[in-house]
Amino acid sequence: MARLRLGYHVSISGGVDRAVDRAVELGCDTFQIFTRNPRSWRSRLLTDEEVTAFKAKRAEAGLDPVVGHMPYILNLASPQDGVYGRSVGSLAVGLERCSVLGIRFLVTHLGSHLGSGAEAGVRRVVGALDRVLGDDGSDVVVLLENGAGSVNGVGSRFEELGRILDGVGRPGRVGVCLDTCHAFVAGYDLRTPERLGETLDAFDSSVGFDRLFVVHLNDSVGALGSGRDHHEHIGLGEIGLDGFRAIVGSRLAGFPLILETPLDERRGEGEDLGVVRGLVGL
């Protein structure tokens, strides 16, 4: 089996270059960051010094890939023009920041259609991506993160992700980030090799593994199909150790695996990474 590429979502507190230091301290092979405040429309400008430091530290550490993540407040599926416009503008800024930092992938949640219907939501997301990518000259790939099955959410079903990917004007600039917690609570079983195989076959049929670039590796507090988006430490949730043993022995193991597990007293920093490595004898 090829060596796993494992990492965490890490903080940019104190400057974006400090994220590289944290990733190295945690023993990461790859890592993910918010390039800005995840709960605000506003963003401060990146300084030349921190951009230079980020690139230098990352090159020295050999961490690859680095993944950016958009703020939670975006709603690319919204029927409300005000929020939709701000979301489109924010995504454009996110692409620019990733390009400046040399980050290849930018993950985004898709949002909610707010009752306008799934097909209307899909059309809004496609329109948003076309507007942003039509004006963007970088090579940053936008990764659509599968949703957790919430009411009115867009992108929880693999078929919806496939329709969005098939609908965009620049398909080479759009891919998918598969979140294991989100998939599970949306109704896709991952707990045994057999059930995982069925889920991956469904993903391949609707989306295609050629359009998967990153996996968010998270256990789930919520039960199968519950729609409850609450991440848990690896092996302590409803997917369980057997499920993650199957996952790291599957086709998903060939992709960068980013953990977004809790920060609490039950496990110290970096311990979930050790649990995953232990499942493959590393």
229 is catalytic: yes
Catalytic residue among 22, 36, 113, 145: 145
Catalytic residue among 58, 69, 163, 211: 69
- Region of residue 150 (phi > 0: left; psi between -120 and 50: alpha; otherwise: beta): beta
Q: Could you give the count of Cα atoms lying within 13 Å of 245 in the half-sphere of its Cβ?
A: 10
Catalytic residue among 17, 229, 238, 272: 229
Catalytic residue among 5, 18, 113, 182: 182
Catalytic residue among 159, 230, 260, 267: 260
231 is catalytic: yes
113 is catalytic: no
Catalytic residue among 17, 29, 160, 179: 179
Catalytic residue among 25, 72, 201, 271: 72
Catalytic residue among 9, 113, 157, 231: 231
Cα dihedral 254→258→261→264 (10° resolution) = 120
179 is catalytic: yes
- Region of residue 145 (phi > 0: left; psi between -120 and 50: alpha; otherwise: beta): beta
Catalytic residue among 17, 216, 232, 238: 216
109 is catalytic: yes
216 is catalytic: yes
3-state percent breakdown (helix, strand, coil) of the chain, nearest 5: 40, 15, 45
39 is catalytic: yes
Q: Which tokens in the block code for residue 135?
A: 């004006």
232 is catalytic: no
64 is catalytic: no
182 is catalytic: yes
Measured between alpha carbons, how far is 129 from 97 in angstroms, rounded to an integer? 17
Amino acid at the residue 185: V
Q: What is the DSSP letter of 173?
A: G
Catalytic residue among 39, 44, 81, 135: 39
Measured between alpha carbons, how far is 248 from 215 in angstroms, rounded to an integer? 11
Catalytic residue among 18, 109, 157, 163: 109
Q: Which tokens in the block code for residue 7?
A: 């990492």
Active site residues: 39, 69, 72, 109, 145, 179, 182, 216, 229, 231, 260
